[in-house]
């Protein structure tokens, strides 16, 4: 389980980067991250 918890920030960071590349706004990316958490 420890490995999974350590991977969470990486997944969130990767998701945000993908959203930025897609041209999504910061508000939308924050909303997506909050839904993931």
Domain hosting residue 31, numbered range: 3-36
Contacts of 28 (CB under 8 A, 6+ apart): 19
3-state secondary structure of 1: coil
Query: pLDDT tens digit string along 2-37?
Result: 556 667 788 788 887 887 777 666 677 678 778 766
SS3 content of the chain, % helix, strand, coil (to 5): 85, 0, 15
pLDDT for position 1: 45
CA distances from 8 to 11, 15, 16, 23 (A): 5, 11, 12, 23
pLDDT for position 25: 66
Total number of domains in the chain: 1
Q: Please enumerate, as own/partner, the contacts of 18-22 that have beta carbons within 8 Å and a separation of 24 or more.
A: none
């Amino acid at each position: 389980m420890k490995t999974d918890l350590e991977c969470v920030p990486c997944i969130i960071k990767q998701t945000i980067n993908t959203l930025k590349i897609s041209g999504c706004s910061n508000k939308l990316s924050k909303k997506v991250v909050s839904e993931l958490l």
